[in-house]
Amino acid sequence: MKTLHLYLTRQVLATLAMTVTVLTFVLLLGNVLREILSLLVSGQATIGLVLQAVALLVPWVLAFAVPMGMLTATLLVFGRFSADQELTAIRAGGVSLVALVTPVLLLSAGLSGISALVNLQVAPQCRVAYRNLLFHIGLERSTSLIMEDRYLDDFPGYIVYVARKSGTNLQRVEVLGLDAEGKMTNRTHAARATVESDVANSRMVLRLYEVQRYDLVNFSSVDELGELSQTLTNKQPALPTLSVPLSDLTFGQLWRKLRELDQLSIQAKAIPHATADQLREQKRQLETVKADLTMPVLVQIHRQVALSFGCIGFTLIGIPLGIRAHRRETSAGVAMALILSLIYYGFIVVGQSLETRPDLAPHLIVWLPDFIFQAVGAVLLWRANRGV
């Protein structure tokens, strides 16, 4: 029995390694071609930066490649076992299917634990580091966009003119500030300037020297004597920064954010002489507002945890389907794996798309593929064990 378990485990691990490698390469290739390769071809990124970006993408890609690889491996291995009559010979020796696949099920549980670590902690951190790296490359690219004797509107809210440029040193600089409608609000002249990349705060800094600034004031009123008047404020505009989406937060960060939102106090407008029904309706509306704030965070928390159990569901359903397929062709197993993966991740996508609809419980929808695959897989495995 031990020899049989070792033989089956080696077969599954070998196929798993091959499929995970192929899937990782394909998923990485899609991201590299879309976001990185163009920067390398245009000379805006070195090979070292590209390799660093690819390395940061690997954990995020493995979160999808490992469950899909486990599904493909079980379909291929047990399909081949069934087609070559090896499974029939094993059963004839008095070994049940459940006893045979026990090490494979334990392997899937171990991979789910590794997937949990990747999904909840490693992948989000690497994804943020990857986005920061691309932002750094983008800042360098923005610096290279500054050309002599030309007005540039590549920077939101500003038009920049530089008379002369030598590396990061600029001479005779003019900066036009624009409002949301694209109208000029101020004009700044500087005898010289320097350009710096502030990666820590995700911004490009233009340091001006020997500056003259002119603000265009839109006077709001004219008094009786014909004098113009305007109310001025000292409010400074917020600097643009690289925000981190909820999908790139770690489990701990999401949990802290959820607790902050749960503790958020939403003040209700007092209703004089309110009836009991009006008070209940007001309470319901306040709960709805709070749910609208917390649901996107809750969906991401449940998504990260639910995806961690993908290996178990894929293994449970892959073993009996591979046996039923009774085919050793790789193409058949791969095609079936792709269809099942589309169904599984389709539920995840639907749940995420409904994160603004708390009434539909999207945080529970992301669990449906795990429940469905594990339940159906357990039933099919039980039937296959009985020879039905």
Quote the CA–CA distance of 321 and 155 in Å, as a whole number.
Answer: 55
CA distance 191 to 26: 51
pLDDT at 59: 93
Per-residue confidence at 50, pLDDT binned at 50, 70, 90? confident
Q: How confident is the model at residue 194 (pLDDT cuts 50, 70, 90)?
A: confident
Question: What's the burial of 160, exposed, middle or buried (CB within 10 Å: 0-12/13-18/19+)?
Answer: buried
pTM of the entire structure? 0.72
pLDDT at 234: 37
Asked if pLDDT for residue 219 goes beyond 60, the answer is no
What tokens does 119 get?
Answer: 């999904």
Mean pLDDT, range 195-201, rounded to an integer: 66
Q: What percent of the chain has pLDDT over 70?
A: 78
Q: How many other C-beta atoms are found inside a 10 Å radius of the C-beta of residue 115?
A: 25
Express each pLDDT in 279-329 by its tens digit: 566 556 556 655 667 888 899 999 999 999 999 999 999 999 999 887 767
pLDDT at 268: 46
pLDDT score of 288 = 61
Q: Which residue has the higher pLDDT, 350 or 40?
A: 350
Indicate whether 336 pLDDT > 50: yes
pLDDT at 89 over 80: yes
Mean pLDDT (the chain) is: 81
Q: What is the pLDDT of residues 117-128, one digit of tens each?
A: 999 999 999 988
Mean pLDDT in residue range 45-73: 90
Q: Which of 78-92, 122-136, 252-266, 351-365 has the highest mean pLDDT?
A: 351-365
Of 164, 243, 171, 175, nearest in space to 203 by CA: 243
- Give the 3-state DSSP-derived string for the chain, with helices as H, strands as E and coil as C: CHHHHHHHHHHHHHHHHHHHHHHHHHHHHHHHHHHHHHHHHCCCCCHHHHHHHHHHHHHHHHHHHHHHHHHHHHHHHHHHHHHCCHHHHHHHCCCCHHHHHHHHHHHHHHHHHHHHHHHHHHHHHHHHHHHHHHHHHHHHHHHHHCCCCEEECCCCCEEEEEEEEECCEEEEEEEEEECCCCCEEEEEEEEEEEEEEECCCCEEEEEEEEEEEEECCCCCEECCCCCEECCCCCCCCCCCCCCCCHHHCCHHHHHHHHHHHHCCCCCCCCCCCCCHHHHHHHHHHHHHHHHHHHHHHHHHHHHHHHHHCHHHHHHHHHHHHHHHHCCCCHHHHHHHHHHHHHHHHHHHHHHHHCCCCHHHCHHHHCCHHHHHHHHHHHHHHHHHHHCC
Mean pLDDT of 143-149: 70
